[in-house]
């Protein structure tokens, strides 16, 4: 059992969201530059160099930290773009850089020894050997855990390593091991590792027919909805497919992650920080989710039961369907 309070790490897609997250009680916010160096490279999102510096000042004034995600894989011939992003993050006074690429990690370890390095979930490090390798070579201080490990596996991992762990507790749920999934580029040509996007909006189309709506990604039908049914976003791994004579949401149901009921379990498993996904979300959403998790974490820290987080967040879950994901072993 860790004795220091768990850190609540919250998404900031824009300067306004950063301020909202800080004011709602985030211990740390994470954000990225407005380019392909981060894994939420969406239009209208992210920070300029100046906005980051201002965000860092605001966060520090309010006792919060800023973690900068430079967590895509650098393009061949253009590694300097990623190195310069890391330089800018270090100069902004941010508290940590979140990276996955050997090239970026190596650059930060050699040139910016004063800034903490966190290993991004995109590096998919899930064993003591892998995490130990990154610690020995780059001096990483924290690893963001893949969303496919069970609570028992996380506890065993924490007993075997001496860097901090950060676990996702709310928001999108990747069912594939992140940083090693090319489903999106297979269908659309764009992927998290290459472009910082998954199932990109410009490749999405909806077709109205007599019996309802067909949601497509690129050339492929991802799901169909009957008349009057709520229509979802066609994220590839949440689609409905035919296999083995069955039609089903083969990879994962269209659910989002909510491990709000597992905060005490994650603390007992030795987790240092809890991460809320959603840099693409607006400040209203972020405020509400951060406030709810702030209450829940504070309740667990004083030894009480977690507050009823499901009730607090009833309006914010994707289609109101949620799962604790891989933290429960039966998920597999």
Partner 1 sequence: MSEIAPTEIALTLGPVFFHWPPDRLLDFYRRIADEAPIERVHVGEVVCGKRMPFSDAAWPAVIERLERGGKQVVLSTLAAPVSVRERKSVEDLCGDERLVEINDVSGLPSRSGKAFATGPFVSVYNETFVAGPFLNVYNEASAKFLVELGARTICPPVELSFAAIGAMSLKCPEAQFEIFAFGRPPLALSGRCYHARIHGLHKDSCQFTCERDPDGLAVDTLDDRQFLAVNGVQTLSNQVQAFCPAPDALASRGIRRLRLSPQTCDMVEVARIYRGLADGKEEPEDARFALSCLDLPGTLVDGYAHARPGWQVTVTA
Are the C-beta atoms of 163 and 143 separated by less than 8 Å? yes
Give all strands of the β-sheet with 204-209 in edge-to-edge order. 204-209, 212-217, 220-226
Contact predicate 195/72, CB 8 Å: yes
Shortest Cβ 186–partner 1 spacing (Å): 4
Q: How far apart are CA 32 and CA 38, in angstroms?
A: 6
Q: Which is nearer to partner 1, 68 or 143 (CB)?
A: 143
CB neighbour list of residue 28: distance below 8 Å, 6 or more residues apart? 7, 8, 9, 10, 64, 65, 66, 67, 95, 273
Which lies closer to partner 1 via its Cβ, residue 81 or residue 312? 81
Q: Which is nearer to partner 1, 224 or 294 (CB)?
A: 224
Q: How far is the CB of 248 from partner 1 (least distance, A)?
A: 8
Q: Are the C-beta atoms of 140 and 114 separated by less than 8 Å?
A: no
Q: CA 24 from chain center: how many Å?
A: 19
- CB of 52 or CB of 115, closer to partner 1: 115
Residue closer to partner 1 by CB (options 130, 264) is: 130
**Least distance between partner 1 and beta carbon 39 (Å):** 13
Nearer to partner 1, 129 or 305 (CB): 129
Taking the complex as a whole, the smallest distance from the CB of residue 101 to partner 1 amounts, in Å, to 6
Task: Give the pairing type, strands 273-276 and 322-323.
Answer: unpaired
Least Cα distance to 122 among 87, 90, 168, 84 occurs for 168
The residue among 67 and 175 lying less far from partner 1, judged by its C-beta, is 175
The torsion angle over the Cα atoms of residues 130, 132, 133 and 138, rounded to 10 degrees, is 130
CA contacts within 13 A on the Cβ side of 113: 2
Question: Which of 47/73 has CB closer to partner 1?
Answer: 73
Cα gap 28→67, rounded to integer Å:
7
Shortest separation between residue 82's beta carbon and partner 1, angstroms: 8
Q: DSSP assignment of 272-319, as one string?
A: -EEEE--TTS-HHHHHHHHHHHHHHHHHHHTT-PPP-HHHHTTTTSGG
Q: How far is the CB of 85 from partner 1 (least distance, A)?
A: 14
What's the closest the beta carbon of residue 221 comes to partner 1, in angstroms? 4
Instruction: Convert 212-232 to b/e letters by CB count within 10 Å (16 or more is b).
Output: ebbbbbbeeebbbbeeeeeeb
Q: At closest approach, how far in Å is the CB of 179 from partner 1?
A: 6
Considering the complex, state which of residue 98 and residue 292 has its C-beta at the smaller distance from partner 1: 98
Q: How far is the CB of 268 from partner 1 (least distance, A)?
A: 20
């Amino acid at each position: 059992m860790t004795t220091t309070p768990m850190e609540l790490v919250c998404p900031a897609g824009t300067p306004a969201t950063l301020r909202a997250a800080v004011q709602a009680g985030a211990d740390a916010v994470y954000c990225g530059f407005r380019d392909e160096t981060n894994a939420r490279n969406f239009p209208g999102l992210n920070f300029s160099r100046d906005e980051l510096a201002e965000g860092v000042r605001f966060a520090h004034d309010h006792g919060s930290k800023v973690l900068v995600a430079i967590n895509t894989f650098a393009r061949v011939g253009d590694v300097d773009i990623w190195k310069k992003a890391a330089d800018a993050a270090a100069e902004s006074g941010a508290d940590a850089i979140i990276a996955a690429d050997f090239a970026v990690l190596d650059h930060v370890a050699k040139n910016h020894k004063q800034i903490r390095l966190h290993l991004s979930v995109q590096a998919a490090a899930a064993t003591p050997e892998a995490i130990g390798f990154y610690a020995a070579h780059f001096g990483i201080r924290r690893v963001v855990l893949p969303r496919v490990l069970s609570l028992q596996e996380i506890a065993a991992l924490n007993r075997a390593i001496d860097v901090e762990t950060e676990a996702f507790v709310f928001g999108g749920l990747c069912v594939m091991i992140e940083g090693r999934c090319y489903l999106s580029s297979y269908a659309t040509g764009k992927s998290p590792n290459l472009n910082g996007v998954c199932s990109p909006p410009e490749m999405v189309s909806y077709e109205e027919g007599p019996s309802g709506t067909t949601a497509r990604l690129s050339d492929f039908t991802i799901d169909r909805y009957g008349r009057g049914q709520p229509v979802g976003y066609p994220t590839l791994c949440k689609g409905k497919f035919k296999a083995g004579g069955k039609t089903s949401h083969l990879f994962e149901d269209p659910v989002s992650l909510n491990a709000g009921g597992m905060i005490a379990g994650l603390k007992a498993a030795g987790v240092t920080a809890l991460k809320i996904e959603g840099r693409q979300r607006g400040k209203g959403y972020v405020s509400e989710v951060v406030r709810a998790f702030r209450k829940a974490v504070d309740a667990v820290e004083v030894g009480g039961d977690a507050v009823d987080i499901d009730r607090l967040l009833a309006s914010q879950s994707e289609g109101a369907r949620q799962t604790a994901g891989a933290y429960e072993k039966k998920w597999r």
